[in-house]
Amino acid sequence: MAQINVTNLTFYYEGSFDNIFENVSFSIDTDWKLGFIGRNGKGKTTFLNLLLGKYEYEGSISTSTRFDYFPYRIKQENLGQCAADFLEQWKPGCEQWRVLCELSQLETDAEVLYRPFGTLSHGERTKIMLAVLFSGENDFLLVDEPTNHLDREARENVKAYLKQKKGFILVSHDRDLLDACVDHVLVLNRCSIEVQAGNFSCWWENKSRKDAFSRMENEKHKKEIQKLKKASERTRQWADKSESTKIGFNPVKEHDRSISARAYIGAKTKKMQSRVKQMEERIDREIEEKEGLLQDIENPVDLRLTPLKHHKNTLISVRDYSLCYRDAPNPVFTNLNFEVQQGEQVFLSGKNGCGKSSLIKALLADIEERNGGGAPAKGEGLPWTAEGTLVTASGLIVSYINQDTSFLKGSIREFCRSRNFEESLFCAILRELDMERVQFSKGMEEFSEGQKKKVLIAASLLTPAHLYLWDEPLNYIDVFSRMQIEKLLLSFRPTMLVVEHDVRFREKIATKVIEL
């Protein structure tokens, strides 16, 4: 057991307008299973890189422990090699028998180590990396979003595996994973950092109570400030009125007043002015205390959507549908049957590689062909052949989120121009998703993966559509934004076909689940 002590940590990227961390101090124990929570762009991955010594910073990070980081970097030449041949590049001194033991705990066959790495699925690659990561001894492990792109079964394997381990920081936005695997949380709030015992749900319950108390105190301070302002104004008026009588008087109306009364009136006025000053100082203190109450409260704005009404009730009909990529020995899936009716939120579920994204691409091809362009979904001119029936309603307008963000380059302005979006409205939606204004002046290639995903979500929300096709929309998206999107979809109930492996999200939103 060792301590990691962070003292007065300050860090910013060269050329950046703002500090990522400013005079941050806290301590964590290397025996903990620590969940790392925070908004996209708040500096979670940056902090892990600071622990690894990748950047220079002000302040100090003191510890006697060594660190290792997931995911490992995959070089181009590694894709044609077996993982067994380059394990030591990832973790010097790595022993293969230890990796095999870890793979068995992940319920994964050892043969994945001896297949070309480029042929492995996302889940298989993740499991090999985790097995290598945990094969060492006495390292404190930095695990950065291990479940992105993983199917439900692979997520369950990773969850069960991490549940038995300790001595790591887990960066994740998956509430189910955090609840199962961590015993402490490190939270990047809006203006502070806190360390707390318990899992995500414990922290969220405590935060909700604390926020509710802060809001009540804030209302109490507001009322107190109003009362003080009224009393201050009333006293000031009395003082001004008294001051105006200090010099000059009517000897007929005020025959009993003498010249010596001037000193008395002056002293009385001074006393009143002193009371006004005291009240103003107390108002300032109350305002300062009130402002401090709400600085760490998350106030997600309610998002809006503009779903369109189609004249047909059935928007998608799939009957005995099979799809096979050209030159592939086996079809991706066979005999698929389902329908999507207006107002339904249909989730596609299944293992990685079972054809969820391929089905969405086939649907997009059919919709494009029906709307006057492109090849039909049967496969002419496309990289697959298909059998059976896939029918989409004519004139269907679709809003699509691709799971790939690599094409996002250039400025927000250029992106809006290419899609005919009003820039101010698009940026307003990004602000509602808690992207800082300072990000809008950067190129999108500089964004974090979560920020890139928010660009695609904002574009989808701004597109009025009959059907929303979302392919893994929540990868890299922070917990608070996930809750915002949940609330939005429950309020508007648009017609959707979604691929998403977040168990909590699917439980709340799905009206129907299709297993491939």
Q: Which CATH class is domain 3-205?
A: alpha beta
Query: Would you say 399 and 460 are in contact if contact means Cβ atoms under 8 Å apart?
Result: yes
Query: Would you say 347 and 516 are in contact if contact means Cβ atoms under 8 Å apart?
Result: no
Q: Which two tokens mark 464?
A: 């009025």
Q: Residue range 86-105: average pLDDT?
A: 92
Phi and psi at residue 108, in whole multiples of 5°? Answer: -125, 135
68 vs 65: CA distance, rounded Å: 10
- Residue 345: pLDDT over 90: yes
- pLDDT value, residue 259: 56
Tens-digit pLDDT profile for residues 456-497: 999 999 999 999 999 999 988 999 999 999 999 999 999 999
Sheet arrangement for strand 496-499: 398-401, 467-471, 496-499, 345-349, 512-515
Identify the burial level of 374 via C-beta atoms within 10 angstroms of its C-beta, where 0-12 means exposed, 13-18 middle and 19 or more buried: middle
Query: Would you say 150 and 77 are in contact if contact means Cβ atoms under 8 Å apart?
Result: no
Domains 3-205 and 314-515 share a fold: yes
* Greatest mean pLDDT among 256-260, 268-272, 280-284, 336-340: 336-340
- Residue 252: pLDDT over 70: no
Q: Which residue has the tokens 């401090």?
A: 292
* Residue ranges of domains in the chain: 3-205, 207-293, 314-515
Phi and psi at residue 141, in whole multiples of 5°? Answer: -100, 135
Identify the burial level of 322 via C-beta atoms within 10 angstroms of its C-beta, where 0-12 means exposed, 13-18 middle and 19 or more buried: middle
Tens-digit pLDDT profile for residues 159-182: 999 999 999 999 999 999 999 999
Q: Which two tokens mark 445?
A: 């290639």
- Residue 425: pLDDT over 80: yes
Tens-digit pLDDT profile for residues 150-161: 888 888 989 999
Percentage of the residues of the chain whose pLDDT score is greater than 90: 55
276 vs 242: CA distance, rounded Å: 14
- pLDDT value, residue 214: 82
Of the pLDDT bands very low, low, confident and very high (cuts 50, 70, 90), residue 352 is confident
Q: Which CATH number fits the domain 314-515, given the four candidates 3.40.50.300, 3.30.465.10, 3.30.1340.10, 3.60.21.10?
A: 3.40.50.300
Total-model pTM = 0.78
238 vs 276: CA distance, rounded Å: 10
The overall longest dimension of the chain from CA atoms, in Å, is 117
Q: Residue range 199-221: average pLDDT?
A: 88
Phi and psi at residue 248, in whole multiples of 5°? Answer: 80, 135
305 vs 461: CA distance, rounded Å: 5
- Among the residue ranges 54-68, 90-104, 284-298, 425-439, the one predicted with the least confidence is 284-298
- pLDDT value, residue 121: 79
